[in-house]
Each structure stands twice: as structure tokens, then as C-alpha cells.
Amino acid sequence: MRIKHAVYYVANSIFVGMPCNRVFIKYIFLTAFFQFFSLTMSAQIKVDTSYNAEQLVYKLVGLQGIVVGNIKVSGPHLGYGYFTDAEQVLGIDKGIILSSGSVFDAFTANHLPYKSGYFSDPKARKKPKGDKDLNRISHGTSGDAVIIEFDFIPLNNKIMFNYVFGSEEYPEYVGSKYNDVFAFIVNGEKVRRLNIATIPGVNLPVSINTLNDKLSNQYYIDNDYYKKPELKKSIPMQKKRKPAKKNKVSDFKINKAKKKKLNQEIVNNIQYDGLTGVMTASCYVVPYKKYHFKIAIGDVGDLAYDSGVMLEAGSLISLKDPEQPKFKDYPDLSGKLNFQSILAGKVIPDQQSIQDSLDEAEQDRFAVTNINFTSASAIIPDTAKNNLNELANYLIKHLEMRCELTGYTDNVGSKKYNQKLSESRANAVMDFLIKKGVAWQRIKISGYNFEDPIGDNSDEHGRAVNRRVEIVLYDK
């Protein structure tokens, strides 16, 4: 009761000398405070934003076979932090959170059907930066992006970690352009800009529109118990309604019967109206090679309504997986390598024999080369068709494998023209594989116009090698 008396004293002090309606204002102040206080006291999940990027990444990395370095973060400081969840409400006891709004808004009782923690004035002309990988994955325009990046060296052939995704866009905006998304992008040896935040068994990224109460709902946890709150944004097939005049908690009607059926621990501790269960992201890598990892989240379509991704502390590990297609055993070199030199991009002379042995161990793996095109053309040259026939046969025999096709161009012509041309080239290779019997669901394509050239665009030889489709194989 001492707290209550103290707050009442503060309220009296604040409103002394105000007009006669101060009693009513005081009542509103105290009511709001105790609502907030009760939510804060009931919350079991604590979040701390005092950690820097290096500390967070080292919290994420487990004891099994991962060396990290070159760590950096971009985005507002309130967009990332370290959380502890003693009761494992999330299914995770501790970890790092990245959010498109304030991380402090994520772990409170779900007292609003949608919560927005803007990092800047939403009416400002200059919007918070988005991210091109998030744009590519969501097929939209992102903003409020928070990104942690680092290099890593795996000591084994498979990496994996655990995470949970949640959002205030659920469930009202499923199927709309407000497709908030996050990404775990791995880039390096035999892995090209691969997003490993995907739905198990489905070649789709985890997002509002791909994982919800109707699609892949075995991974979805409903945390919404409000009766059709006023929509603030238009969605397809939905008549635009007039916005509500008020925006108080009491304006939102509660479906009490549904609320009783929900997980009360989640209702009382998680603000998001929907979230996933604990998911696992993984991919195959080449041991002792340097990779780049990017963890990103952002709003898509607008800056309203927060989304967050929580990664389990200590869960980023590498392990030896003999089930990898074409697996070839490799030696334990963890005590023989200078990892700092590898992270710095150097291979020192006395390690060259080790590097050669690793390359030799990889040569038995099925290898594909880029498919090159003539200028301004998306027609596959005859010289490339033998390679594509071999690729099709390999994919038909190895049903566990998937294929990613990325089209590129030289720098002749506008970016808009070359974007379309790069996509046409990737489509041409996909059509070839489909005609040979490869299921379209096992192929994903993208185009990057004249980004990331591998040759010098100032001469014809360089432009020729840039007119290509890169082919990457990965396990589902």
C-alpha cells in the first residue's frame, strides 16, 4: 500500500492548482498507472537493452563448433536486447530479441489488439531504413529494420539454432501487403544468400502470410481474443471502415469464451496477437570456411504494428551430420587453424596444405557452374544444356535437394530493363528443369540485375561472365 500512497501523493502534487476537473484527471492518471503497474508486476519475461551487439551474439553462440567475429548492428537501440524467461512461456528460457518496435512492448500482457512502437514519426517524409533482403523475401517495402550481422566459421557441416516469431499483424492482416517478415541470411561457400528462416517441409519463408491460423497452422499459436477491432489499414476483399474515434483499452471488446481457451501464460506475458512455437533454422555448410550471417526484422507495407523474433541463447551450434547428401567425412582441424586469420580473409602459408585437403574432400560433391547468356538474351545457349541435363537428373535422383536460381546481367541498359532480364534468365533455367521432370516446388528464383558482378563490366569479357544464372543446391 505504500506504493499506492506514494503515487497518490505524486498525483496530488502534479495536479495542485489545476481547475476543478483535476479529480477526474487524477482518477485517469491513477487508473492508467495501476494498469501499467499490474502488467509490469505480472510479467515473467524480463528484457535488458544494455547489451551491445558483440555481447548478444556471444550469448547466441553455443559451445559446439562455432567461431564468430566482425560483429555489427544497425537499427534503433530499442530494437534489440537480451531477455530471460524463467517460466519458459515462449518455450525458450533466455535469448536475444530483435523487434520492429520497442523490445519493452513485446513482453507485457496482451492488453491491446495491436501495438505500435514507432522508431520515428510515422508522418515524417524520411522513413526509417528498410533492408533489401527483407524486401526480396516479403515482396514488399520494409522499414524499421533492425539487423545484426557477423562472420562465422563452422567446425562441422551443419549449423542450426532455435527461434520464435511473433507479431501484432496477426490475425487481422493475414493475406495483406502488411506482411511483416524476418530473415536469417547465410552467405558463403556453396551457400548463396540463403534465408534459412523457412517453414519445415515447405519452400517458403516464415512470415505473416505464410504461417498463420490457416496456413502451416501446426506451428502457429493464437493469442488473440478481441472481437473484430477497428481495422486501421485496408486489406484485400475488406471494405474500408471508418476509424474508431477512440483508442482506449475499454473500446476493444473481449471474447471471454475464446480468451479462456488460450494459453493464459502467453496471454499474460506476450503482447503479440500471434506467434510461432519454437522453430529450428538450419543449413549445410563447408567446415572451416568463413561465412556471413545476417539476422534482420522489419515492418512491411507500413511502420505500424510491431513484430519480433526471439533467438534462443546458446542454440547457434554446428554439428557433424552424416545424413547430408554426398557426405564425405572430414578431419578435426579445430586445434590446427588460426580462426582470426580466416575471419580476416587470410589463409596463411602453413595452412595451405590443410586448405587443399579440404578442397579435395569437396571435389566429389556434385558441382554446377553458372549458365551464361548472350547480350540482351534470355535464351539458354546450347553449350549449357548438357550441364542442365545433368542437373535435372541429379535433382530427380536426390529428392531431398532443392535448387535456387539467381539471374544477373551486365550493366548495359537501365536497371529496370536489366531487372526484368535477370528474372527472365532465371525463369528460362527453371522452365528447362521443369520440362525435364523437376517439380516446380523444389525451385526458387530471383533476379539481381547488374548487382554483384563477378567480372569487370568495362570490357566485353567481364560483361560476358556477368550475364549469368547462378545455381545453388541445398537440402530442404
pLDDT tens for residues 437-456? 999 999 999 999 998 888 88
In this model, does residue 14 exceed pLDDT 50? no
CA dihedral sign, ordered 206, 207, 209, 213: positive
In this model, does residue 267 exceed pLDDT 70? yes
Highest mean pLDDT among 158-167, 176-185, 231-240: 158-167
Most distant CA pair in the chain, distance: 88
The residue written with cell numbers 496482451 in the block is: 110
What is residue 296's predicted lDDT score, i.e. its pLDDT? 92
In this model, does residue 322 exceed pLDDT 90? yes
pLDDT: is 443 or 29 the higher one?
443
Stretch 249-259: mean pLDDT: 78
Q: What is the dihedral of CA 376, 377, 381, 385, to 10 degrees?
A: 130
Stretch 139-168: mean pLDDT: 91
Asked if 153 and 316 count as a contact pair (C-beta separation under 8 A), the reply is no
Q: How confident is the model at residue 24 (pLDDT cuts 50, 70, 90)?
A: very low
pLDDT tens for residues 365-389? 455 678 999 999 999 999 889 889 9
pLDDT tens for residues 268-312? 999 999 999 999 999 999 999 999 999 999 887 776 788 999 999
Distances, alpha carbon 17 to alpha carbons 9, 13, 181, 300, in Å: 14, 9, 50, 47
Dist. CA 468–CA 346, nearest whole Å: 28
Stretch 102-131: mean pLDDT: 72
Distances, alpha carbon 330 to alpha carbons 292, 321, 334, 347, 475, in Å: 22, 11, 11, 19, 19
CA dihedral sign, ordered 15, 21, 27, 29: negative
Q: How confident is the model at residue 103 (pLDDT cuts 50, 70, 90)?
A: very high
CA dihedral sign, ordered 109, 111, 113, 117: negative
In this model, does residue 151 exceed pLDDT 50? yes
Q: What angle do CA 297, 185, 417 make, to 5 degrees?
A: 90
Query: Which pTM was predicted?
Result: 0.64
Q: Which of 51, 103, 93, 92 is nearest to 73 (CA)?
A: 51
In this model, does residue 37 exceed pLDDT 60? no
**Mean pLDDT rounded to a whole number for the chain:** 81
pLDDT: is 215 or 246 the higher one?
215
pLDDT: is 249 or 103 the higher one?
103
What is residue 353's predicted lDDT score, i.e. its pLDDT? 52
pLDDT tens for residues 424-438? 999 999 999 999 999
190 torsion bin: left (phi>0), alpha (psi -120 to 50), beta (else): left
Stretch 69-90: mean pLDDT: 93
Residue 40 CA, distance from chain mean position: 28
Q: How confident is the model at residue 33 (pLDDT cuts 50, 70, 90)?
A: very low
Share of the chain above pLDDT 90, in %: 47
What is residue 355's predicted lDDT score, i.e. its pLDDT? 55
Stretch 185-202: mean pLDDT: 90
What is residue 358's predicted lDDT score, i.e. its pLDDT? 53
What is residue 431's predicted lDDT score, i.e. its pLDDT? 95
Dist. CA 318–CA 311, nearest whole Å: 16
Question: Given the DSSP bridges, would you call strands 94-99 and 307-312 parallel, antiparallel or unpaired?
Answer: antiparallel
pLDDT tens for residues 176-191? 787 777 899 999 988 9
What is residue 472's predicted lDDT score, i.e. its pLDDT? 83
- 349: preceding bond cis by omega (within 30 degrees): no
pLDDT: is 241 or 97 the higher one?
97
